[in-house]
Amino acid sequence: FLIGTIINIVSIRSIVGTLWFSISLGATVIVFISHLLWKKAKITSISLVVIVLITYSVYIEFSTSPITVLYMFPVVTIISFYLTGRAKGLAFSFAGFVITILYLTLQKRIFGVNYHDPGALTNFILGSSFSIALIFLYEFSLVSANKKQILTNRALEELAITDSLTGLNNRKWIDNEFSLRLEKAKKGQGFSIFIIDFDDFKKINDEYGHVAGDQALKAFSKLAKTIQHVKVGRWGGEEFIFFCESASFEEAVICAEKLKQIVSENDFFPLHKITISIGVASYLDGDTMVSLMNRADKGLYKAKEQGKNTISFVDLKDADIKKK
């Protein structure tokens, strides 16, 4: 587009045309430099399209033959849609269309010669309208395809972190959640974790079959999704990891107690009364996923030893395991 404009302006040796084009070229350079400095993509795109429209107007006025407007207009449309998207691209294209029509219809008054008869003008209007509509539809389909691709990618990402049996978050999600929370914890935002295990889950499988065991896991998972202020993922088998916002042992144990109570009071699996044991660990400076999991796992192990349906955690001060 710029090369064509340069050739036409140079060929007619118009001082005014050269001046206007020089201004447009200088403005383009300024816009690019500004973009490199401040990275304002939207402002850059709009500025470039405005420069193109100005250059196009100069091109119409000082080109060697007015017929060249018929060739250059689609370029304005393509650039407008490409740089600014559907809505703004349509507006800028319409502006270029109006500029062209005004120029063509006023030529006779300017030059005293009718360069374009009504048939040619009609053809330009129809052809240009069709090209604008076609590019608009293409841009619309492109945006729609991009949205569908984004939704598909999100669905795939969701599938990648979802446990296929229970619909809860899986091990991959748990790993990612640990990483995020540990980073926040370093900045002062503590948290706690619970390792939860079904009591006597083997008995359910032995007495009612593994299908019933799966149903029990699904029923518990459905209940777990309704519990507020915690996030949950399936660690494996009948073990689950809960993330709690509570930063201290005391708050974490209270939260775990509420969770245990909710499970005890809900008969979500009619064939067998479900209870859970919980191991609790709260973040301490220098903790890693492994250290937190080890403490919570030790708490869970002790909870099982102390009669099940209990909550336990490691007290690092005396290395004992406390029971609630």
* pLDDT tens-digit series, residues 259-304: 999 998 888 888 888 999 999 999 998 899 999 999 999 999 999 9
Residue 1 has pLDDT above 60, yes or no: no
Distance CA 231, CA 204 (A): 26
Mean of the pLDDT values across residues 18-42?
85
Say whether pLDDT at 151 is over 60.
yes
Residue 59, number of CB atoms within 10 A of its CB: 25
What pLDDT does residue 321 have?
43
Q: What is the mean pLDDT of the chain?
A: 84
Q: Quick check: is 245 catalytic?
A: no
pLDDT at 118: 72
Assigned CATH class of 171-323: alpha beta
Flag whether the pTM goes above 0.75. Answer: no
51 pLDDT above the threshold of 50: yes
Cα 181 versus chain centre, distance: 20
Domain ranges of the chain: 2-157, 171-323
On whether the CB atoms of residues 32 and 51 are closer than 8 A, the answer is: no
Burial of 20 (0-12, 13-18, 19+ CB in 10 A): buried
Is the pLDDT confidence value at 26 over 70? yes
Query: What is the C-alpha to C-alpha distance for residues 74 and 80, in angstroms, rounded to an integer?
Result: 10
**DSSP per residue, 185-233:** HTTT---EEEEEEETTHHHHHHHH-HHHHHHHHHHHHHHHTT-TTEEEE
Return the pLDDT at 177: 95
Q: If you average pLDDT over residues 16-34, what whole number do you get?
A: 81
Is 322 a residue whose pLDDT tops 60? no
Q: What is the pLDDT of residues 80-99, one digit of tens each?
A: 999 998 899 999 999 999 98
Q: For the residues 211-223, what does the mean pLDDT come to?
A: 92
| pLDDT for residue 10 is more than 70 | no
Which of 157, 238, 239, 245 is an active site residue? Answer: 238
Is pLDDT of 50 > 90? yes
123 vs 245, more confident? 245
Is 64 a residue whose pLDDT tops 80?
no
